[in-house]
Amino acid sequence: MLLKVVKTSVLVALAASTLSASAFNAQAEKDRLALIDYFEAKFEDADKNRDRFFPYSTDDELKNNITKNIKHADFAIGNYAFSKQGKFSYDEIKEMPPYEDLVEMGEELYNKKFANGNSFAICFPDPTIAASYPMFDESRKEVVSLTQAVNECRTSNGEKAWNTKKGKLPILQAYMAYQAMEAGKKVDIKIESKEAADAYERGKEAYYTQRGYLNLSCATCHVQGAGQRVRNESMSQLLGHTTHFPVFRLKWGKDKVENGLGTLERRMTGCNKDQGENPHKPTSKWMKELLYFMAYMSNGMKIDGPDVRK
């Protein structure tokens, strides 16, 4: 009888543990699905939705430039998903993308031996792993970004850390993102503990909190403001924001092609400045948790990096 009681208690405990583990991402899933519903509704018909979502857009913009009935997967290409004019230019550039040679350089960096005989291929035997970053490291109880992981691979092998925004690091990431894209990988961010869920919530708070002397939040531009114009550009949407990094920005590559590729952290520090605040360090806890939240919002979307932006 006692043995039956013990067995029953163990089974109940295991069931509770499994249920608890699967529930840690419950709020994040609600957030993600709500975001998908929000953007699909927003871009179902911009002209009909002008009062609710596009009060400052022109008649010409709403009727002739914003694509209708955009669905979840389509948002992976940023504002080119809804901007007809932007998509035309994007398709032209993609015929001969300026980052092609850099992807090959990234493959060379991936396989190049360190002084001790190891290589990135030892640290990352599966180069498609980019689809799973940033990840919450349960042993360290912190978010680890791909940028951080690359530099930790170098320093643990006696090499110097690379620049976290441009140069060789995003070139290596371009190769890894390309491999993930070729393999048909989708963004796959896990939340499997209370600590991970807490990190996600802090990242969400960072995204929606107004700050800087302009008193803007990330969401001001990329949730509420998505689809509206600032100067000559339409603001992109949060949904799909992390799927295409590293990106080659034409403005970054004007002087030197290698500098055209930038990490997600490079773009985010630029956004910090645009908000009127001092930029957060690329591998700070604040930045990594922000990216963790953003990446989770793109869960299930195909990796399409590296990509090109203006």
Which residues are designated catalytic?
271
On whether the CB atoms of residues 219 and 208 are closer than 8 A, the answer is yes
Tokens of 56: 């400052």
Q: Is 298 left (phi over 0), alpha (psi -120 to 50) or beta?
A: alpha
Separation in Å, CA 6 to CA 15, 16, 220: 14, 15, 55
With tokens 């998903």, the residue in question is 81
One-letter identity of residue 78:
G
> What residue spans of the chain are helical by DSSP H?
2-23, 26-42, 50-53, 59-60, 84-95, 100-111, 120-123, 146-156, 168-182, 194-208, 218-219, 264-274, 285-297
Return the structure tokens found at 89. Answer: 């230019």
Which helix (H) or strand (E) segment holds residue 102: the answer is: helix 100-111
Q: Which residue has the tokens 């997600």?
A: 264
Residue for token digits 């013990």? 6
**Is the preceding omega at residue 306 within 30 degrees of 0, hence cis?**
yes
End-to-end CA, the chain: 71
Q: 118 burial class (0-12, 13-18, 19+ CB within 10 angstroms)?
A: middle
**CA dihedral in degrees (43, 48, 49, 51; nearest 10)?**
160
Q: What is the three-class DSSP state of 255?
A: coil
Q: How far from chain centre, in Å, is Cα 82?
A: 19
Q: How far, in Å, CA of 246 to CA of 258, rounded?
A: 12
